[in-house]
Amino acid sequence: MTSPMLLPPLSASQPLPCPLCGSPTLAELPLMEAASCRTCEHIFTPTCDRTALELADAEVPLTWVWCRGRWQRQWRGLPAVTWLYLPLALGFVSLPTSIVAAGAYWFPPLPGSALAWLPQVWIGLTAIAHLACVLWLCLEAYQFPLWLYLEALSRRWRRQWRYFRTAP
C-alpha cells in the first residue's frame, strides 16, 4: 500500500481525471473549495488536511486519495470480511434452493399438466433471489457505489454517442 500524498492542485485550466467516472474533466469550481466533473456532474471537496477528495453530493461517503498520479479509493471502516463468510453465503444460496428442489423432486407435478414447468422456474427464482441478496450485502459491505458508477457510465456513453453523431 502506498502512502497518500497531498492532493494535486485543482484548477479550471488543468483538469484532473475524475475519481468516479475516470474522465479527465475534474476541474475546480470558481470561488469554491470544491471541484466538479463535467462528465458525471458530481461535486467533490478536499478534506481539511488536503490528503483526500470526498464525494460531496451523494449519500454514500466515498473518499479517494491521490497516489502516484491516479486516484485510489480510500476504504473507511471496511468490515473484516473473512473466508468464513464464503461458506455462509454458499449455504444461504444453496439451502433454500435445495429445499425447493427436494420438494419438486419428491412431489413432482403431474406429467402433461399446465403448470409442469413451475417447479424448475421456482427453483431458478429461489437461487437468483438468494444470490441477489448475497450480492447486495457485498455491495453494501464494501460501499460500492453501483448506481453512481452506472450513472457515470451511462453519461459517458451518451456523451460519446452525441460526439460520434455530430462528428463529420
For Zn ion, the binding residues (CB under 5 A) are 18, 20-21, 37, 39-40
**Cβ closer to Zn ion: 94 or 156?**
156
CA 119/CA 140 separation, integer angstroms: 32
Specify burial of residue 10 (Cβ count, 10 A radius: 0-12, 13-18, 19+).
buried
Least distance from Zn ion to the Cβ atom of residue 136, Å: 25
Closest CA to 149 of 38, 54, 19: 19
**Cβ closer to Zn ion: 7 or 123?**
7
Least distance from Zn ion to the Cβ atom of residue 168, Å: 27
Least distance from Zn ion to the Cβ atom of residue 166, Å: 21
Residue located via cell numbers 463529420:
168
CA 15/CA 121 separation, integer angstroms: 51
**Cβ closer to Zn ion: 130 or 145?**
145
CA 27/CA 11 separation, integer angstroms: 6
CA 67/CA 74 separation, integer angstroms: 11
Least distance from Zn ion to the Cβ atom of residue 152, Å: 6
Residue located via cell numbers 488543468:
14
**Cβ closer to Zn ion: 35 or 93?**
35
Least distance from Zn ion to the Cβ atom of residue 26, Å: 6
Please give the torsion angle defined by the CA atoms of residues 15, 153, 81 and 123, in that order, rounded to the nearest 10 degrees.
Answer: 180
**Cβ closer to Zn ion: 37 or 93?**
37
